[in-house]
Structure 1
């Protein structure tokens, strides 16, 4: 039996029998003609695909260049004002810190918004410094007030990105006042430093290097196209895989490839909502539709067995990419649209922050404090209480370790809670900071003495470290911690206070702060990552339900139908929301598979299996939506044959959303001329949903007792009208699995459970001919698969583990 991915199209290779009985010739499609010639992927395409929109490299370049200019201007200004010693150092350091914080946090989507934020940040910096200098004579009061500040700046994050930015800068201002031991008498120097840096940053942002949304839009689309071509090339030709994949043997699955492509597609969708990304904002729906067409074409290509991609499928992908480029070219040639109140605003599936997709807080926030939850604490309040406790403990323990460098422990603790929403994310970030610091110290112990006492060299190293840290921090927080450690080592070399013992102390203080943050995150008001993943899956089930409801509405009432909310049905927006929910599931599940935690391999396999099943379902929903659009001109009476398949799909989706066992479904009227492509896609979605029920049976908001509706089928005697065979692992041992047989109209013909002790044998009685039928097989810990099989001969299904790519291959004949 040839293994194929869940939801394979009806025209791909069928499951092969393992005995001498062959299926009717009419049931077996001719083998596809593979694309000839090797696939090529350039390093330029890989670099482009790794940084959609060039957001990371732009941010890193802006940070390094802004810091270089700020350091130079601050030093010149200090000399012009006659400042020396401590005053000159305060001028330079505060200018550098404000530059870094502004570059990192001033991320409003519009120029006006960024200017407002950049004017608010210096006020926040001065407020934090002033507050600290007012109590600088009383150490206990000063440190206690620092804890209060930490609570307040986290609590205000509920008011949006600008409040988050101002809160971070207030905290940093208070911290820098403690670090530099500033007094109230030094406030004039502080004001000069902050004011001059603010003017400089505004000139850079508005004149020297203004942000250009249209350019970012084009680069995001280019990254999307690059990821599409890389996915197609690597699927078509194993030689096209990256050297890292070939060296490690880690082969990406089609589901992983689709997830990477969908990530950029959601980024493009978010960028479409940012002003001036398009010449005419009215073209945004057309761009969204063109992107979805590309994804659908890629999904069809990835449905084929590796190495057997058909020329028509490869050509369809390139044609869809050309159509997308045509839509963008038409927009570039269009005249700027006049601002009117008639056009409906474009609503993205996810709002971007600084060019990145939102974090897990969009899922965790409603989970910990649902609407109507009454006394439940908001996520920002929970985190504010956590950071207050963790910050206080870090100050006390860090001070006990070293009374002068205690702030390193506070930094590690505070930053572990920044940008995280679950306990697992906080622990993961704390571990990454510790590992990055240890590696950075090891490198600094060799690098700093090697480079010697050169101011120019040290400044160059600092700027390079800033660039590397900002460029890679979204890839791994470990890289940012490493870069900052190198920066600090060179800074202390410039100040003449560098020593090996000082770096060792930094490791100890950082590890202490990270440990405190991790312990508090998991023990005090924790937001469980497992519960967050369950909430993400429940959201996915609701998005899937809404998508199928909208499809049914369009099938019933035609294009331009009115949805349940009273507005027009937008299938493209609906499926894009589904993709955004899939990204949230992937993001939340990432820290659940920490390798240092006991039971990680099994948990990783379960998380990966569920995510893959949801990715496949989202791809099948996109295919169904395009089939619905293609069938829009079909006479309504021909859609009657689709009703059975649609009702079967909706029944499974409702069961999934409600957390109950899927039941039996009956088909609608058959016969006559039908939209075959639409029926086929609905059948494929039905198969993907059946596999999802087995891999993720608790996606609904509440668990219910599960009843095995297929048990009576297992007791039926063998008959000719039955699909039968064995389900085994790659070692040949039988597996406990669920086998479901579906007809082309989406009707579930039978469903049985196999017994590993009995060799994994199954028999599913079917009525209405020999098939071939769609057979879906799912087993815990294994990647679910679907393919076509005729009734009568015996088959063998070989499942691959869920944590690696399943190989489409012919199983060896087995005597049964």
Structure 2
């Protein structure tokens, strides 16, 4: 787990740059809050706003990111005001929190911007509970949030805008569905149901810290689509929290009264959150938990019992999410995995066809966007297969089959990248062997994704034109053919068990 979090590949040092920029941006936001005389409570909510502005805004273009960042206070400030106004009306407050939870998840149907605004709204309601915000504090809290979002934006879009010049990230669209089967609709219902369970049971554990259970349920649903993914994420959240609490006893309890030491630990935690988020949810949660422990210490309420309660509330939240995905509109891991695998295979064919067209001299043919899309789709496949590849999965045959599918898809991606690289710099070639090979790739993809529609065509190759470029391209296409042929066994073997049953 440690190796995965800190030795995982970091192409372009993007994770390192993101984590370093986050420390700079959040540090600047908190420092500005201190310079203008804001209270500790206002500085904390300002730091949280800056963290969310840097962490959750994931639009594919810099212009889109700037637009979403500007909209964060527009959504967040009214929610914070609502939470503060309802502080003394528990039943209405709880109902409002559940409504914000459901709407925040549903907003993901509008893509990265909807996701960012939904998270920010939820966390503003959550922060109001964490800080016991009252209406009399709202002017100062509003000012701190606005100042901090501006500080984070100045760092992100001015001081250190490393995204400028990078190609827009390829974010795959959700799997097609309508009605209650639509991912955002289903998850909004599931998250609300899970949060209601967590809220009720969390209040039985503590009338003051119940919101940790709701928060745990909420974050378990982020970036998951099947019940298997959600269960694994819930387990990882609990594990990261438990380890973080143990570390909190070592760091937060003895050091929270030392401002310099506390500031350094919080900065290290911020770096850890951003650096590990993409590769290890467990380590990210460990960093979040240690940071929260230090903040409780700065607020003067930290004690061992509080840390133990945090573990219990997190367990309740994870349980709420698990029950929701198992009992409310459940979607199996197999259904989601199969959908993403088919999308990836069709993208493999699109990459091959565009590269072949480019080699034949078609000026506007460009495989690069499809290569980027394939990488994003494989990320979704890895996420959906995570439950099967988990060390605690007792279904060894399915685990091995999932591992083989993932390895073969990685082989496909490697061959596609090689083919696209050759096509990018090659002279045009009209070798019909390449056309024939691409037809075979198309037939292989059809056989895997829609076997009833597969034509089985095997066109003959024409007389070869001697070209080193074509030979290199053919080598990659033949590699693709082999990987696709080998995928037939784990994906379509007659009479086998389903790839996953969860």
TM range (shorter): 0.7 to 0.9
In structure 2, relative to structure 1, the CA distance for the partners of 1:70 and 1:608 (3 Å cut) is same
TM (normalized to structure 2)? 0.84
Q: Secondary structure at the match of 2:175?
A: helix
1:520 aligns with 2:329: no
Query: How many angstroms does 1:148 deviate by?
Result: 0.8
Q: Secondary structure at the match of 1:366?
A: coil
In structure 2, relative to structure 1, the CA distance for the partners of 1:462 and 1:655 (3 Å cut) is closer
Question: 1:628·1:678 contact (CA, 8 Å) conserved in 2?
Answer: no
Q: Deviations over 1:355-397 (max 9, x none)?
A: xxx4xxx36x324x0xxx5x45421111111111011110001
Question: 1:413·1:517 contact (CA, 8 Å) conserved in 2?
Answer: yes
* Aligned counterparts, 1:661-740, within 5 A: 668=460, 678=470, 682=474, 685-686=477-478, 689-690=481-482, 692-697=484-489
Q: Quote the residue 2:175 is aligned against.
A: 366
Query: How many angstroms does 1:666 deviate by?
Result: 6.4
* Aligned counterparts, 1:331-410, within 5 A: 350-351=169-170, 358=171, 362=172, 365-367=174-176, 369=177, 373=178, 375-410=179-214
Q: 1:69 aligns with which of 25, 28, 34?
A: 28
In structure 2, relative to structure 1, the CA distance for the partners of 1:515 and 1:681 (3 Å cut) is same
For 1:684 and 1:197, how far apart are their aligned partners in 2? 50
Query: How many angstroms does 1:111 deviate by?
Result: 5.2
| Structure 2 gap ranges (5+) | 498-502
Q: Deviations over 1:206-232 (max 9, x none)?
A: 55x241445xx6xxxxxxxxxxxxxxx
Q: Quote the residue 2:386 is aligned against.
A: 590
For 1:117 and 1:691, how far apart are their aligned partners in 2? 41
In structure 2, relative to structure 1, the CA distance for the partners of 1:628 and 1:74 (3 Å cut) is closer
Query: How many angstroms does 1:74 deviate by?
Result: 2.3
Q: 1:56 aligns with which of 15, 31, 52?
A: 15
Question: 1:453·1:494 contact (CA, 8 Å) conserved in 2?
Answer: yes
Structure with greater strand share of residues? 1
For 1:186 and 1:628, how far apart are their aligned partners in 2? 61
Query: How many angstroms does 1:526 deviate by?
Result: 2.7
Q: Quote the residue 1:560 is aligned against.
A: 362
Q: Deviations over 1:602-622 (max 9, x none)?
A: 222111212222333444455
Structure of larger gyration radius = 1
In structure 2, relative to structure 1, the CA distance for the partners of 1:516 and 1:668 (3 Å cut) is same
Q: Quote the residue 1:731 is aligned against.
A: none
Q: Deviations over 1:441-491 (max 9, x none)?
A: 112222345437322222222222222222222221111211122222222
For 2:129 and 2:8, how far apart are their aligned partners in 1? 43
Q: Quote the residue 2:290 is aligned against.
A: 486
Question: 2:155·2:161 contact (CA, 8 Å) conserved in 1?
Answer: no
Root-mean-square deviation (CA, aligned residues, Å) is 3.7
In structure 2, relative to structure 1, the CA distance for the partners of 1:640 and 1:458 (3 Å cut) is closer
Question: 1:620·1:681 contact (CA, 8 Å) conserved in 2?
Answer: no
In structure 2, relative to structure 1, the CA distance for the partners of 1:609 and 1:70 (3 Å cut) is same
For 1:196 and 1:626, how far apart are their aligned partners in 2? 46
Q: Deviations over 1:17-63 (max 9, x none)?
A: xxxxxxxxxxxxxxxxxxxxxxxxxxxxx999832233222332233
* Aligned counterparts, 1:486-635, within 5 A: 486-547=290-351, 549=353, 558-560=360-362, 568-575=364-371, 577-599=373-395, 601-621=396-416
Q: Deviations over 1:678-721 (max 9, x none)?
A: 4686477457535533433575xxx7979xxxxxxxxxxxxxxx
Q: Deviations over 1:51-95 (max 9, x none)?
A: 22332223322332333333333234337xxxxxxxx34322222
For 1:420 and 1:631, how far apart are their aligned partners in 2? 41
Q: Quote the residue 1:655 is aligned against.
A: 447
For 1:441 and 1:494, how far apart are their aligned partners in 2? 16
* Aligned counterparts, 1:224-243, within 5 A: none
Question: 1:643·1:668 contact (CA, 8 Å) conserved in 2?
Answer: no
Q: Secondary structure at the match of 1:75?
A: helix
* Aligned counterparts, 1:103-114, within 5 A: 103-108=54-59, 112-114=63-65
For 2:417 and 2:214, how far apart are their aligned partners in 1? 47
1:194 aligns with 2:3: no
- Give the count of matched residue pairs: 493
Structure with greater helix share of residues? 2
User: Bigger shift: 143-152 or 665-674?
Assistant: 665-674
